[in-house]
Amino acid sequence: MKKEVNSACIFFSSPHREGHTHKLLDIFMEHVKVSELGIVDCYERNVNPCIDCGYCKVHRACVFSDMDDIDRYLKKADLLIFVSPVYNFSFPAPMKAVLDRMQRYFCARFYGNLRPPIDKRKKAVLLASCGSKGTFGIKIMEAQLNKIFTIINCSLIGSVLLEGTDTLGEIPKNIEANIKELVNNF
């Protein structure tokens, strides 16, 4: 039986729609039924990077409007689904730009005194793939998300890493089991 989720948003950050990372998302989506789904394809969107202009220190908004729909998702979603390959132990640049742009919520909290800057409490998962064997990259990515999640009222409930994609044939069986376990946790 699929887990029912009212409102969710996918942040997808691979340049390959049929790559290893997307396979993780396909498996995840087989186990959830989402009533209202937002999809942010970070490569397609290619949002402006944060320019630290200070606008959000004064206004409760960003100087750029290209993430206004993402702001609405963050205020409405019950679940955020981050889906990304590991690039140099981190997120690819288009996803990093999306994450850096969440600086406006730090400013809302620390300059605008909004506590919390986003009322809606929500959960998140991270699905990642990497070419080599090793968890260093995903640990860094989790740390980056956890820092931002403190301010956007979100908790990372778990991650699934598909490692060794450089030499991988089929998706190992344990990956689907790990994804099922992740779904059971929220």
Ligand X SMILES: Cc1cc2nc3c(=O)[nH]c(=O)nc-3n(C[C@H](O)[C@H](O)[C@H](O)COP(=O)(O)O)c2cc1C
User: How far apart are CB 135 and ligand X at their closest, in Å?
Assistant: 10
Site for ligand X in 132-151 (CB under 6 A): 132, 137
- Give dist(CA 87, CA 132) in Å, integer: 11
Q: Name the residue whose CB lies closest to ligand X.
A: 19
Q: Which is nearer to ligand X, 19 or 54 (CB)?
A: 19
Buried b (16+ CB within 10 A) or exposed e, 23-43: bbbebbbeebebeebbebbbe
Q: Which is nearer to ligand X, 119 or 170 (CB)?
A: 170
Q: Report in angstroms the alpha-carbon separations of 143 from 28, 49, 99, 133, 140.
A: 22, 20, 12, 19, 5
Does 94 bind ligand X (CB under 6 A)? Our answer is no
Q: Which is nearer to ligand X, 118 or 138 (CB)?
A: 138
**Contact residues: ligand X, CB under 6 A:** 14, 16, 19-22, 85-89, 129-132, 137, 165
